[in-house]
């Protein structure tokens, strides 16, 4: 099947084995003629088979598409989009273990990964999956991993800080996309005393004095700088003269060392178990006449996963929670049940990423007040924040003790209730919902003016 290059959406950037492209909601890699030999060697290798069998990489096959200017087209299994700053600690750790494991396999088969950062990883059924075929290359003469320093600085360092309770620093490293970490022009990350102090137990120092190499785990850079300055002063040497030279490298970090790192957000240990609410919501979705294909739950809980897996199998699911521990339990459930879903840990009202990547036909937030209004955020701002993710419909819930009030904003901007209440979550009195509800009366005009879904 021949496809015109103008009909394909090319992803910016080119690596030695081609370009990534999207067509008809599918993902391809376009291979130029000069790279077909390398690609054929790789996809026919034992390494490739082992990676596929273990689901370490997406399912990949040679496509029957033909594109002008390219000799071969590969098609990859399409995975849900995910970014490192939306992962929980355990997800980040799983990603680090995967990179380490793949590199070990590569070395066994004469290959190596040229990238050691997390941006080439997505999650499939709760497990990390390495997506960049351009990162696999034949191993050089050295048996050392060329991307090892990058791995330590972008994978191990954030996990180490996170495990020590330095969550803010770890998250800033991840959020700011420091790949690789650089501080100033011509300065390496290991030139930073702060970074060296964080990784002090994993650094090897090498000094060269009068032609003799000395290896040690002790940081004597300050002493070598003093000696070099004195020598330059006495002998009137230029400013670049060094009688003592030093270099820094990282000790080998095993998978066990990574697995031994632990973290639990003790301030976020509240886990709800409202399975009945999940069933009611799932029933509403399944019973509706609208043809939904995607669902985004902005305050999902682990108990929802079972319900969604049974009653909403036809939907593309994205599950979000602002509570770290709940988000992790969500991902554990996805892994256990092998459900094709995406889990993210972030605040959707103040996202770090473009909204369009997460837009879904239906957006659910079943407990608005508990999750997003406890800090005094105006309800209008919350509704606007939720609305931006929706293509067709929003279901919003307000919960107080054992009562629920759920309303849905439809594309025609009308507010409807989906559940009769004994007590309203806001007024505390008996309420039948609908247009007479205090929430509807207070906000219906606002909805009609501002909640048209595009």
Q: What pLDDT score was predicted for residue 288? A: 57
Least confident of 16-25, 38-47, 197-206, 409-418: 409-418
Question: Quick check: is 269 in a domain?
Answer: no
Question: Quick check: is 270 in a domain?
Answer: no
Residue 200 carries which DSSP code? G
Percent of the chain with pLDDT over 90: 23
Query: What average pLDDT does this structure show over 229-242?
Result: 68
Residue 155 carries which DSSP code? I
* 279 and 246 in a common domain: no
* 207 and 93 in a common domain: yes
Mean pLDDT of the chain: 75
Q: What pLDDT score was predicted for residue 442? A: 39
Q: What pLDDT score was predicted for residue 249? A: 75
Query: What tens digit of pLDDT does each residue of 136-194 get?
Result: 988 876 678 888 988 998 899 999 999 988 888 888 888 765 544 544 445 566 667 77
CATH number of the domain encompassing residue 32: 3.30.200
* 242 and 125 in a common domain: yes
* 44 and 69 in a common domain: yes
Query: What average pLDDT does this structure show over 105-118?
Result: 92
* 115 and 249 in a common domain: yes
Residue 28: how many other CB atoms lie within 10 Å: 23
* 280 and 258 in a common domain: no
Beta bridge partners of 244: 209
Q: What pLDDT score was predicted for residue 425? A: 40
* 446 and 298 in a common domain: yes
Residue 445: how many other CB atoms lie within 10 Å: 10
Helix axes of 275-287 and 302-311: crossing angle, nearest 10 degrees: 30
Last residue of a domain, one of 238, 263, 288: 263
* 423 and 320 in a common domain: yes
Number of domains in the chain: 3
Query: Is the pLDDT score of 440 beyond 50?
Result: no
**Alpha-carbon 63 to chain mean position:** 28
Q: Quickly list DSSP for 12-41.
A: S--BTTBEEEEETTEEEEEE-GGGHHHHHH
Q: Please give the model's pTM, rounded to 2 decimal places.
A: 0.79
pLDDT higher for 13 or 217? 13
Q: What pLDDT score was predicted for residue 99? A: 96
CATH number of the domain encompassing residue 435: 3.40.50.150
Question: Quick check: is 37 in a domain?
Answer: yes
Question: Quick check: is 232 in a domain?
Answer: yes
Best CA proximity match to 298, nearest among 354, 348, 370, 360: 348
* 111 and 11 in a common domain: no
Residue 154 carries which DSSP code? I
Q: What pLDDT score was predicted for residue 261? A: 93
Query: What tens digit of pLDDT does each residue of 304-352 get?
Result: 787 777 777 778 888 888 888 888 999 998 888 877 788 888 777 666 5
Query: What tens digit of pLDDT does each residue of 381-398 get?
Result: 777 777 788 887 777 765
Question: Quick check: is 268 in a domain?
Answer: no
Q: What pLDDT score was predicted for residue 418? A: 39
* 113 and 8 in a common domain: no
Query: What tens digit of pLDDT does each residue of 356-368 get?
Result: 777 888 888 776 6
* 422 and 289 in a common domain: yes
Last residue of a domain, one of 211, 237, 263: 263
Q: Quickly list DSSP for 304-354.
A: HHHHHHHH-TTSEEEEE-SSHHHHHHHHHHHHHHT--EEEE-S-TTS-SS-
Query: Is the pLDDT score of 414 beyond 80?
Result: no
Best CA proximity match to 180, nearest among 215, 154, 201: 154
Domain range for residue 391? 275-450
- In angstroms, the CA 359 to CA 355 distance is 7
Last residue of a domain, one of 51, 76, 101: 76
Least confident of 73-77, 256-260, 445-449: 445-449
* 185 and 164 in a common domain: yes
Question: Quick check: is 157 in a domain?
Answer: yes
């Amino acid at each position: 099947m021949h496809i015109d290059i103008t009909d394909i959406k090319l992803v910016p950037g080119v690596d030695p084995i081609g370009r990534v492209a999207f067509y008809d909601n599918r993902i391809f890699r376009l291979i130029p003629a000069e790279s077909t030999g390398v690609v054929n060697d790789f996809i026919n290798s034992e390494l490739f088979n082992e990676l596929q069998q273990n689901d370490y990489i997406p399912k990949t096959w040679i496509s029957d598409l033909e594109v002008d200017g390219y000799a071969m087209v590969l098609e990859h299994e399409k995975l849900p989009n995910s970014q490192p700053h939306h992962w929980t600690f355990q997800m980040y750790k799983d990603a680090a273990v995967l990179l380490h494991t793949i590199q070990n396999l590569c070395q066994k088969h004469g290959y190596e990964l040229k990238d050691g950062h997390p941006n080439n990883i997505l999650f499939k059924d709760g497990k990390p999956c390495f997506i960049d075929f351009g990162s696999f290359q034949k191993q050089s003469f050295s048996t050392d991993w060329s991307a090892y320093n990058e791995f330590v600085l972008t994978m191990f360092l954030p996990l180490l800080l996170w495990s020590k309770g330095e969550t803010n620093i770890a998250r800033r490293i991840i959020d700011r996309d420091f790949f690789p970490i650089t501080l100033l022009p011509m300065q390496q990350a290991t030139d930073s005393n702060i970074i060296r102090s964080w990784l002090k137990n994993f650094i090897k120092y090498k000094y060269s004095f009068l032609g003799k190499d000395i290896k040690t785990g002790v940081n004597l850079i300050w002493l070598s700088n003093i000696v070099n300055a004195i020598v330059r002063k006495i002998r009137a040497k230029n400013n670049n003269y060094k009688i003592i030279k030093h270099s820094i490298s990282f000790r080998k970090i095993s998978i066990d060392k990574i697995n031994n790192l632990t973290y639990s957000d003790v301030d976020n240990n509240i886990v709800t178990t409202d399975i009945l609410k999940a069933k009611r919501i799932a029933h509403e979705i399944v019973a509706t006449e609208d043809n939904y294909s995607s669902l985004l739950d902005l305050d999902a809980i682990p108990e929802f996963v079972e319900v969604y897996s049974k009653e909403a199998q036809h939907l593309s699911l994205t599950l979000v929670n602002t509570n770290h521990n709940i988000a992790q339990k969500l991902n554990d459930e996805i892994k256990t049940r092998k459900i094709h879903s995406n889990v993210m840990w972030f605040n959707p009202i103040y996202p770090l990423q473009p909204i369009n990547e997460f837009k879904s036909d239906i957006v659910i937030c079943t407990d608005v007040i508990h999750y997003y209004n406890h800090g005094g955020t105006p309800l209008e701002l919350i509704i606007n924040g939720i609305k931006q993710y929706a293509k067709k419909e929003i279901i919003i819930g307000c919960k107080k003790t054992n009562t629920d009030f759920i309303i849905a904003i439809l594309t025609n901007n009308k507010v409807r209730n989906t559940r009769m209440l004994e007590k309203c979550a806001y007024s505390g009195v008996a309420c039948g919902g609908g247009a007479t509800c205090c929430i509807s009366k207070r906000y219906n005009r606002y909805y009609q003016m501002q909640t048209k879904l595009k």
